[in-house]
Amino acid sequence: MLPPSEGKAAPERGRRFDPGALSHPELAGPREQVLQALIRASAGADATTRLRFGASLAEQVEANTRLRDARAAPAAQVYSGVLYDAAGLVNLSGTARRRSNSSVRIVSALWGVLRPDDAIPAYRLSMSTPLRPLAPLGTFWSRHLGGALDPGGSDVVLDCRSQDYARAWSPAPDREWLAVRVVAIRSGRPVVVSHHAKHTRGVLTGHLFRRPEPLPRTAAGVAAAAAELIGPVLADVGLHPPVRSGPATLELVLSD
């Protein structure tokens, strides 16, 4: 499970966006609701204020009004932030690309959930945006994503999402659920680091698909695969049990 990225590369070539071609077609109705609300909210003179974006993003917010006719490209290409740069999903080929497209799900404030090969336009909307009348969007999507994601099998869910996006869906209670925490050792103690967290989650994501072994299907298997990065990337890997009904934690300790 990945979040989208705030930074998005607007496709300059390619086909026009076709919402009917997205995976998980059962989400067509909710997607249309969010798209309509976003277009309406983005058309007003006070759109940036209403959507709580800075004035520097006014052009991107206005572009939301033209999403139905915009050019589209694979989500792995449109999402251009630190995590996606580190994961390099858009550069995968062969078995690694097939693994990625079948296993990765990206939770999106606009589209609900996507595969890396779903063709989407660049847009400006986050899960924390107060998009009326649907806000909070995490709650809105939590009512719809179960049908799309719960039948996804029994393999472990490796969760790289931020808190806002995690609210949109949680795995069934009987399924292994593993959140990723990135820490550095400071004065002998682990300290959560935000600066390198996205990059490290991206490195782990790309590693899981590029390694020759099959994708791990359990939390212990993911931890063992992550331990292969000990050296230049990681100093240690820890696996901690869940607290109450939350996920277990995969702790990635950064190398100095």
Got the DSSP string for 122-155?
A: -----TTS--TTT-SHHHHHHTTHHHHHTTS-SS
- pLDDT for res 53: 94
- In this structure, is residue 247 part of a structural domain? yes
- In this structure, is residue 118 part of a structural domain? yes
The percent of residues in the chain predicted with pLDDT above 90, rounded, is: 86
C-alpha distances in Å from residue 160, one per residue of 164, 178, 182, 217: 12, 9, 10, 16
Q: Residue 190 — pLDDT band, cuts 50, 70, 90? A: confident
Q: Of the ranges 53-62, 103-112, 181-190, which one carries the lowest mean pLDDT score? A: 181-190
pLDDT tens, position by position, 42-57: 998 899 999 999 999 9
**pLDDT of 256 over the 80 cut:** no
Average model confidence (pLDDT) across the chain: 94
Q: Residue 194 — pLDDT band, cuts 50, 70, 90? A: confident
- pLDDT for res 176: 95
- pLDDT for res 48: 94
- pLDDT for res 151: 74
- Per the structure, how many domains does the chain have? 1
Q: Taking residues 101-117, what's their average pLDDT?
A: 97
Q: Is 56 left (phi over 0), alpha (psi -120 to 50) or beta?
A: alpha
Q: Residue 152 — pLDDT band, cuts 50, 70, 90? A: low
pLDDT tens, position by position, 67-107: 999 999 999 999 999 999 999 999 999 999 999 999 999 99
- In this structure, is residue 6 part of a structural domain? no
SS3 of residue 91 by DSSP: helix
SS3 of residue 67 by DSSP: helix
C-alpha distances in Å from residue 93, one per residue of 11, 48, 131, 201, 210: 21, 39, 37, 20, 9
Q: Which domain holds residue 117?
A: 19-254
Phi, psi (degrees; rounded to nearest 5) at 44: -80, 160
Q: Of the ranges 130-134, 155-159, 190-194, which one carries the lowest mean pLDDT score? A: 190-194
- In this structure, is residue 224 part of a structural domain? yes
- pLDDT for res 208: 97
- In this structure, is residue 111 part of a structural domain? yes
- In this structure, is residue 4 part of a structural domain? no
Q: Taking residues 201-223, what's their average pLDDT?
A: 97
Q: Taking residues 163-173, what's their average pLDDT?
A: 93
- In this structure, is residue 5 part of a structural domain? no
Nearest to 216 by CA among 196, 236, 239, 195: 239
- In this structure, is residue 9 part of a structural domain? no
